[in-house]
Every structure is written in structure tokens, then in C-alpha cells.
């Protein structure tokens, strides 16, 4: 397994940080990963290791304002993120020319990759993997927070507030929670603009799910997730059409890749990756 990190500059002159793990030998495909709110791509080393072992490369971006990327901490707009994803996919194509490209998004990243697929209609993607997408919050957002975000998103969009994440709901493995709490690159605040865009895009994705394009999609959700709303994920799947595979993991928390049964989760993912070239109907795995 070979490792390399990268930095690219956006049109706004913000330097984005990314890191790639490449398998030994021929690369089957490149999975471009987008992480969750307040975290960074470095928390997915176990995913990279699993993918590399099976011949898949993983390119992970630190979203602007997150991890080692530049930008106001905890802040970006969704339109900026879509532009950054265009740039990231073009870079992935250069890193491994002629290799199929997949998007893989978790939580906030899961929302973003679905939003990107439906807004930009990319033709270069082989498929999309989504886990625990942030289409709805696990608990209601206080009314004052919503009112403040709505008021301030145009006046002072980089203004931040606590993101309200219940970090004990990340994983049933307490070591994962402890590592998250002590991670210096984890940031617990979110800007009013990012928070507002995230909420509104979740509503929009569910309402427009029937417009999801014909890109193979694997979407997985923990039934005991209390950081995002599992019912919102199920609504999206119910309303969507096309080549969609859905798996609800009974009793699992938010980060399926960090749950005690993660090997089972990885096996489902790998099976789907190996089968995406075949016709599929919406079904449970």
C-alpha cells in the first residue's frame, strides 16, 4: 500500500488537502471519500486499508474549513463544496488515468455526494456509496438555532455555533469515541451557513429523490443511529428510483466503518463494488 498526500488550490485561492492510499498492483477503481461534519479524511484509515487489500484506491479530501484544508473553521457553502468536488474528481482521474471513479460519502459527506449527483449530473462516475447520510438530524434542532442561522447566514455566514453532535453515538466501540474526542483535527463548531445549507439540502434531497440519476448507489444506515435520522434515509430510498441498493444495519450506530461488525459492513461494500457493472434493482442486501 502506497501513501501520498496532495494539496490543490480552489478558484478562491483556498488550499485543499487530500491524501491517497494506493494498492499494490493494478487499481480496480478509485473511491473518492468525503467525511462528516467537523472531522477529516484521516479518520478513515481502516477503510483505506480494506479497500487497498482488495485492489481499490482511496482518495480522501479534507473539506474546506476542516482538517488540514484551509478556510474558516467549520465553514463552507454547498455551492463551494460542489465546485471542490468537481476539482477532486478531476484530480482523481489524473492520479489513476482511465480507472473507474466512485464517490463515497459519510454523514455530511453522504448528503454532499447525493446532492452533487443530483445537481451536477456527473457522467464520469461508476457509482456512489453513502453511509449514514445527514438528511435529517437525530434529534430536533432548537428553534433558536434555526432562527439564528436563517438570520445570520447572509449577514455573517462564517459565524459559528456548537454543532450539537452527540459523539457517544458515533460507535458502540468506546475507543472510537475516545479517539474522536482527543483528535486535534476534529472541530466541534459549525458555521451558520454550512448548518443552514446542510438542513435545507436534506429536505431537498428527500423531496426530489425521484430525480436521482441512473448512477448505481449503495446506501447503508445504522438503525440505532442518533446523530442522523434513519427514517430520513429510508424516506430517500423509498422515493428514489433506479439502481439503488439499501442496507439497514440493525442496532448499529452512526459510523458503520467503526462499528464492532465493520467487517460485515466492508464485505457488503466490496460485494457491491464488484457487482456494480451488472443490472440491479432496488433491494436489500
Contact 135, 178 (CB under 8 A): no
Whether pLDDT at 71 is above 60: yes
Mean pLDDT over residues 276-282, rounded? 49
- List C-alpha distances in Å: 72 to 160, 190, 260: 10, 10, 35
Alpha-carbon 59 to chain mean position: 13
Question: Alpha-carbon distance 156 to 159, whole Å?
Answer: 6
> How many CA within 13 A on the CB side of residue 25?
7
Question: Alpha-carbon distance 243 to 256, whole Å?
Answer: 22
User: How much is the pLDDT for 195?
Assistant: 96
- Coil, helix or strand at residue 241: coil
Whether pLDDT at 145 is above 90: no
User: How much is the pLDDT for 140?
Assistant: 86
Whether pLDDT at 218 is above 60: yes
| 271's grid cell | 460485494
pTM of the model: 0.94
| 186's grid cell | 476534529
Alpha helices (H) in 26-136, listed in sequence order: 45-53, 78-95, 108-120
Nearest to 232 by CA among 102, 105, 104, 107: 107
User: Which CATH number does 2-284 carry?
Assistant: 3.40.50.1820
User: How much is the pLDDT for 91?
Assistant: 94
pLDDT tier at 276 (50, 70, 90 boundaries)?
Answer: confident
Contact 194, 164 (CB under 8 A): no
Measure the CA angle with vertex 277, ends 272 and 278; round to 5°: 85
Average pLDDT, the chain: 94
| 108's grid cell | 455530511
Contact 11, 40 (CB under 8 A): no
Amino acid at each position: 500500500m502506497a501513501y501520498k498526500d496532495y494539496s490543490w488550490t480552489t478558484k478562491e485561492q483556498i488550499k485543499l488537502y487530500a491524501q491517497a492510499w494506493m494498492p499494490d498492483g493494478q487499481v480496480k477503481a478509485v473511491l473518492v471519500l468525503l467525511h462528516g461534519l467537523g472531522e477529516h479524511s484521516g479518520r478513515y484509515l481502516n477503510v483505506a486499508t480494506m479497500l487497498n487489500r482488495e485492489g481499490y484506491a482511496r482518495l480522501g479530501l479534507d473539506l474546506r474549513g476542516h482538517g488540514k484544508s484551509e478556510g474558516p473553521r467549520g465553514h463552507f457553502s454547498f455551492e463551494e463544496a460542489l465546485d471542490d468536488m468537481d476539482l477532486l474528481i478531476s484530480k482523481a482521474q489524473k492520479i489513476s488515468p482511465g480507472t473507474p471513479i466512485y464517490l463515497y460519502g459519510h454523514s455530511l459527506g453522504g448528503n454532499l455526494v447525493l446532492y452533487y449527483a443530483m445537481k451536477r449530473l456527473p457522467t464520469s462516475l461508476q457509482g456512489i456509496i453513502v453511509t449514514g447520510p445527514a438528511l435529517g438530524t437525530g434529534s430536533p434542532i432548537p428553534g433558536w438555532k434555526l432562527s439564528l442561522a436563517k438570520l445570520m447566514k447572509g449577514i455573517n455566514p462564517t459565524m459559528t455555533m456548537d454543532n450539537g453532535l452527540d459523539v457517544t453515538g458515533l460507535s458502540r466501540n468506546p475507543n472510537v469515541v475516545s479517539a474522536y474526542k482527543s483528535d486535534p483535527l476534529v472541530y466541534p463548531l459549525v458555521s451558520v451557513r454550512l448548518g443552514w445549507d446542510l438542513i435545507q439540502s436534506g429536505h431537498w434531497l428527500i423531496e426530489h429523490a425521484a430525480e436521482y440519476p441512473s448512477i448505481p448507489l449503495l446506501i447503508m444506515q445504522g438503525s440505532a443511529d442518533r446523530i442522523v435520522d434513519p427514517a430520513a434515509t429510508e424516506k430517500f430510498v423509498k422515493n428514489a428510483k433506479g439502481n439503488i441498493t439499501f442496507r439497514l444495519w440493525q442496532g448499529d450506530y452512526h459510523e458503520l466503518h467503526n462499528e464492532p461488525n465493520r467487517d460485515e459492513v466492508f464485505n457488503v461494500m466490496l460485494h457491491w463494488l464488484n457487482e456494480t457493472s451488472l443490472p440491479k434493482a432496488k433491494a436489500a442486501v
